[in-house]
Amino acid sequence: MIRKLLVANRGEIARRVIRTCREVGVSPVAVFSDPDEHAPHVREADAAVRLPGAAPHETYLRGDALVAAALAAGADAVHPGYGFLSENASFARAVLAAGLTWVGPDPDVIDAMASKVAAKKRMAAAGVPVLPELDPESADEFPLLVKASAGGGGRGMRVVRSAAELADQVAAARREAESAFGDGTVFCEPLLEHARHVEVQVLADAHGTVWALGERECSIQRRHQKIIEETPSPAVTPQARERLFTAATRAAEAIGYVGAGTVEFLYTDDGSFHFLEVNTRLQVEHPVTEEVFGLDLVAWQLAVAEGARLPADPPVPHGHAVEARLYAEDPARDWRPSSGTVHRFAVPGGVRVDSGVEDGSEVGVHYDPMLAKVIAWAPTRHAAVRKLAAALDRAELHGLVTNRDLLVRTLRHPEFEAGNTHTGFLDQHGLTTPEPVDVRPAALAAALALAERRRTALPLGWRNVPSQPQRAAFEHGDDVVEVDYRHTRSGVETSLDLTVVAASPDAVTVERDGVRTTFPVAVHGDRVEVGAVSLRLRPRFPEPEAGVAEGATVAPMPGTVVRVAVAPGQVVAPGAELLVLEAMKMEHRVLAATGGTVAAVLVRAGQQVDAGDVLAVVGEARS
């Protein structure tokens, strides 16, 4: 019987496990790194143990420290969540050796599936269809996909379309895999473009019962990492579903799987599919399965770890569920991660929100940039998708750049609504490029709300020269938005084709063509959030700033330099790779804005940099 459970993870999944602990009467224990000291999951647990340090290898990837934390807190079991050490057989063995219950499959099973190369061979022997393996050093079939043998989540994956880029992409994949999983082994397989990513949730007990709990469609991806998932898949036919479930069950039985896991496949429109991997843990997207099947997978994980038997048949599914992952990142800037303070995090009711943050949370650079998962259930796919899009559209997400607008655009795209998705969907439809939006009404609302906040004993809008309008300027992304207005006896006059009905420090109502719209306004320092529009106030008298040398390339985010690709005196073309930064567990290439000669390289591999630090300087090409 599990009485006290150490949750060997952080953020959203730690809170998710703690929530189930409360429901089933188990006392949860949290662990935390120094940056996570005040994180929600720490406060919500009954006890918490510090893991000194910040980087994953110092904290959440230290199996010895996690086992010591469990013993110090008097825990009798460990739940690994997902990511970090959740699929690390050595950690599972250390937990068991300490006399603790491991909430997961047997370490030998984890080992069997840890290497994707070995896993594919084992699945082929069990009669599960697999893709051929290609040699990373001499592959000659393109396009192909380089993959990390020891992990997933999109890390260590690279698309290669020609032999000329193979070596560089394999090297980059190895670096990222080594950083994320401690194992730089990679392999290659043919890239099935326009295929779907479909997976089957399995749950098995130690008495021989295996459930196949539906399939999940996970084809909407960025950087080979899922961002929208749903169940059931809009493409899988009843006949193909039966074959998928048979293959997934056969895979679980072939390795003696016990617990919750996922068997992943690539699925093509003709109904054929190929094995990708077995995730020997709970998946990020497990909530859609829970919503459709009406069960708690974490509760079943605990029960199975205690030796419980599953009923002979799984629950009957009902309706449709869709999940979207909210990330602190900018899709229009090559998915650049965003860090800072979450000033406001609120999603309207009617949907499930599994979040790792709350108002006031700090998002740093050490961990994955996922903020939350928003899940909608409805009797039909159309209703679930519409419900999720509306909730995201109305969400208050203040303080960080997020992928919210991309998610809404995707959910409302006609091809997504029709179920015509595949792993290249975002690129095919150009969805990473923001749609043109007139933000001037929002900027006017911001200016009027700020004016209300500055109200003094003088009448609002009082000026020595009343004929001159008042002006305000804001930054919206890379654009500068200017608005002007003037207070008169009859109200507020503006150059925009609308009428100001009311203004307060927190909301402004305008009318256009007989339609009234109210803009909620929230101010956080120089940031002004107007509904879903995020603006930055431009100061009237900017402070002088230290000049940056012409041709200087600065760090777009805090991170670690993992590779420098150029040297002083080298001639580079526009768009050439200057160096590679690692931030939030992903590599980000820093490219030359213009061509020329590298005048200086100011950083070295392994060096930590802050946003705005000068990395290199490219001058005019020498004749």
Contact 358, 374 (CB under 8 A): no
**Structure token pair of residue 491:** 């109200």
Res 191: pLDDT: 86
Is the pLDDT confidence value at 459 over 70? no
* Average pLDDT across the chain, whole number: 92
Is the pLDDT confidence value at 464 over 80? no
Same domain as 385, residue 246: yes
Same domain as 498, residue 559: no
Res 457: pLDDT: 39
Res 345: pLDDT: 97
> How far is residue 296's CA from residue 299's CA, in Å, rounded to a whole number?
5
Please identify, among 84, 103, 122, the residue that sits at the C-terminal boundary of a domain. Answer: 103
Q: Confidence class of residue 622 from pLDDT cuts 50, 70 and 90? A: low
The answer to the question of residue 463 being in a domain is: no
The answer to the question of residue 474 being in a domain is: yes
Is the pLDDT confidence value at 546 over 50? no
Res 545: pLDDT: 44
Same domain as 524, residue 416: no
> What would the mean pLDDT of 400-407 be, rounded to a whole number?
96
Contact 223, 156 (CB under 8 A): no
- Is beta strand 77-79 parallel, antiparallel or unpaired with respect to 4-7? parallel
Residue showing tokens 């000049």: 547
- HSE-CB for 452 with a 13 A CA cutoff: 17
The one-character DSSP state at 130 is B
pLDDT one-digit tens code per residue, 438-451: 999 999 999 999 98
At 3 the three-state DSSP class reads: coil
Q: Confidence class of residue 548 from pLDDT cuts 50, 70 and 90? A: low
pLDDT one-digit tens code per residue, 357-393: 999 999 998 999 999 999 999 999 999 999 999 999 9
| % of residues, the chain, pLDDT over 90 | 74
Same domain as 256, residue 361: yes
- Is beta strand 527-530 parallel, antiparallel or unpaired with respect to 515-524? antiparallel
Is the pLDDT confidence value at 122 over 90? yes
C-alpha torsion sign, points 85, 90, 94, 97: positive
Q: Which amino acid is at 179?
A: S
Question: Picking from 37-41, 93-97, 148-152, 616-620, which range would have the lowest pLDDT averaged per residue?
Answer: 148-152
Query: What CATH number is associated with residue 150?
Result: 3.30.1490.20
Res 137: pLDDT: 85
> How far is residue 415's CA from residue 408's CA, in Å, rounded to a whole number?
13
Res 623: pLDDT: 54
> How far is residue 253's CA from residue 361's CA, in Å, rounded to a whole number?
43
Is the pLDDT confidence value at 214 over 50? yes
Q: Confidence class of residue 434 from pLDDT cuts 50, 70 and 90? A: confident
Q: Confidence class of residue 335 from pLDDT cuts 50, 70 and 90? A: very high
- The parent domain of residue 67 ranges over 4-103
Please identify, among 537, 571, 589, the residue that sits at the C-terminal boundary of a domain. Answer: 537
Same domain as 307, residue 404: yes
Is the pLDDT confidence value at 354 over 90? yes
Res 116: pLDDT: 82
The one-character DSSP state at 103 is S
> How far is residue 496's CA from residue 530's CA, in Å, rounded to a whole number?
17
Cα 530 to chain centroid distance, Å, stands at 24
Is 623 exposed, middle or buried (CB count within 10 Å of its CB: 0-12, 13-18, 19+)? exposed
Buried b (16+ CB within 10 A) or exposed e, 24-63: eebbbbbbbbebbeebbbbebbebbbebebeebeebbbbb
Between 528 and 133, the more confident residue is 528
Residue showing tokens 């909608």: 376
Contact 210, 226 (CB under 8 A): no
The answer to the question of residue 298 being in a domain is: yes
Res 543: pLDDT: 47
pLDDT one-digit tens code per residue, 150-183: 766 677 889 999 999 999 999 989 988 887 777 8
SS3 content of the chain, % helix, strand, coil (to 5): 25, 35, 40
> What would the mean pLDDT of 329-356 be, rounded to a whole number?
94
**Nearest by Cα to 342 from 39, 565, 117:** 39
The answer to the question of residue 113 being in a domain is: no
User: What residues are paired with 141 via a beta bridge?
Assistant: none
Same domain as 297, residue 152: no
Q: How far is CA 399 from CA 217, 363, 445, 527, in A?
A: 31, 10, 18, 8
> How far is residue 407's CA from residue 214's CA, in Å, rounded to a whole number?
24
Is the pLDDT confidence value at 542 over 70? no
Same domain as 357, residue 261: yes
pLDDT one-digit tens code per residue, 473-521: 999 988 899 999 998 888 899 989 999 999 999 999 999 999 999 999 9
The DSSP string of 9-21 is --HHHHHHHHHHH
**Structure token pair of residue 473:** 């300027």
Is the pLDDT confidence value at 467 over 60? no
SS (H, E, C) 540-569: CCCCCCCCCCCCEEECCCCEEEEEECCCCC
Query: What CATH number is associated with residue 608?
Result: 2.40.50.100
Same domain as 213, residue 175: no
Question: Picking from 35-49, 254-268, 482-496, which range would have the lowest pLDDT averaged per residue?
Answer: 482-496
- Indicate the number of domains in the chain: 5
Which residues, at least 6 apart from 51, have a Cβ–Cβ distance to it below 8 Å?
31, 32, 33, 58, 59, 60, 62, 65, 66, 69
> How far is residue 360's CA from residue 115's CA, in Å, rounded to a whole number?
40
Is 324 exposed, middle or buried (CB count within 10 Å of its CB: 0-12, 13-18, 19+)? buried
The answer to the question of residue 116 being in a domain is: no
Between 172 and 48, the more confident residue is 48
Res 466: pLDDT: 52
Same domain as 200, residue 158: no
The answer to the question of residue 127 being in a domain is: no
The answer to the question of residue 122 being in a domain is: no
Res 549: pLDDT: 65
Same domain as 355, residue 417: yes
Is the pLDDT confidence value at 465 over 60? no
**Nearest by Cα to 305 from 101, 106, 108:** 101
Query: What CATH number is associated with residue 281?
Result: 3.30.470.20
Res 584: pLDDT: 72
Is the pLDDT confidence value at 454 over 50? yes
Is the pLDDT confidence value at 614 over 70? yes
Contact 269, 235 (CB under 8 A): yes
Q: Which amino acid is at 574?
A: P
Same domain as 596, residue 614: yes
The answer to the question of residue 435 being in a domain is: no
Res 289: pLDDT: 98
| % of residues, the chain, pLDDT over 70 | 95
Contact 133, 146 (CB under 8 A): no
Same domain as 306, residue 384: yes
pLDDT one-digit tens code per residue, 78-105: 999 999 999 999 999 999 999 999 999 9
Please identify, among 103, 124, 151, the residue that sits at the C-terminal boundary of a domain. Answer: 103
Q: Which amino acid is at 212?
A: A
Whole-model pTM?
0.86
